[in-house]
């Protein structure tokens, strides 16, 4: 009776039958779909050059071993609840056919302005991160920056601390843009000159991009 294990002795070779979940990664550059999900600060509202921080970050995310398809899904006035809904309907389409999927989240200010409770914000963020983890998606969270309103800033400080806690519990990279920019002269000047309340101009978005790029970005993408 022939040996079903097969081998070089004239017997039938073993047949390889990959599971439905098996993924064959081709040789060559990594094929990365990078989705940015958020509201007006992700969309770059207020930047006269139309770049915002997302385009600046993507422009610095170039590597010979990486092919990037970047998608900006920033929608003005969206709350965390809106993002949770859009995550399920809009984001998967951008990953179609890509071998590597990454999600960057930036949210918070609109929750405060819309009256979303801190507990609900935490829950929505946790659900987004947990859903992404269940789908095998790597996530990266960028906090909201300070505004030109002291009362709003006092509430943002609490929200940013909550975001850091939610991300820390899950081992998700988190960039605090609030504390470094709160007393930053160039940030404050840019906010004061902006025609859009609570939004920076060109210089301010450049500062956010710098914070993202220098706080774990290349390590997260494994291109350092």
Residues 124-176: pLDDT tens digits?
A: 999 999 999 999 999 999 999 999 999 999 999 999 999 999 999 999 999 99
Query: 140: which 2 tokens?
Result: 């990266």
Domain ranges, ordered by start, for the chain? 30-221
Q: Sign of torsion, CA 37 156 44 59?
A: negative
Task: Name the CATH code of domain 30-221 (choices 3.90.1150.10, 3.40.50.1110, 3.40.50.1980, 1.10.40.50).
Answer: 3.40.50.1110
Region class of 46: left (phi > 0), else alpha (psi between -120 and 50), else beta: left
Which residue ranges in the chain fall short of pLDDT 50? 1-25
Tally Cβ neighbours within 10 Å of residue 96.
7
């Amino acid at each position: 009776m022939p040996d079903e294990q097969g081998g070089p002795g004239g017997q039938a070779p073993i047949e390889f039958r990959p599971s439905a979940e098996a993924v064959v990664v081709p040789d060559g550059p990594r094929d990365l779909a990078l989705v940015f999900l958020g509201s007006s600060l992700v969309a770059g509202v207020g930047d006269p050059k139309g770049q915002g921080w997302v385009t600046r970050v993507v422009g610095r995310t170039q590597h010979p071993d990486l092919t990037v398809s970047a998608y900006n899904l920033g929608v003005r006035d969206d709350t965390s609840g809106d993002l949770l809904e859009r995550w399920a309907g809009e984001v998967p389409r951008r990953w179609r056919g890509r071998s590597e999927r990454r999600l960057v989240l930036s949210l918070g200010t609109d929750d405060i302005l819309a009256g979303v409770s801190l507990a609900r914000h935490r829950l929505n963020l946790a659900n987004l991160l947990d859903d992404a983890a269940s789908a095998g998606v790597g996530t990266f969270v960028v906090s909201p920056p300070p505004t030109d309103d002291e009362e709003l800033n006092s509430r943002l400080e609490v929200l940013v601390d909550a975001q850091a806690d939610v991300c820390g519990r899950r081992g998700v990279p988190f960039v605090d843009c609030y504390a470094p920019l709160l007393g930053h002269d160039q940030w404050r000047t840019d906010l004061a000159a902006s025609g859009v309340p609570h939004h920076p101009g060109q210089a301010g978005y450049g500062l956010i991009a710098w914070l993202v790029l220098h706080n774990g970005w290349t390590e997260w993408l494994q291109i350092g």
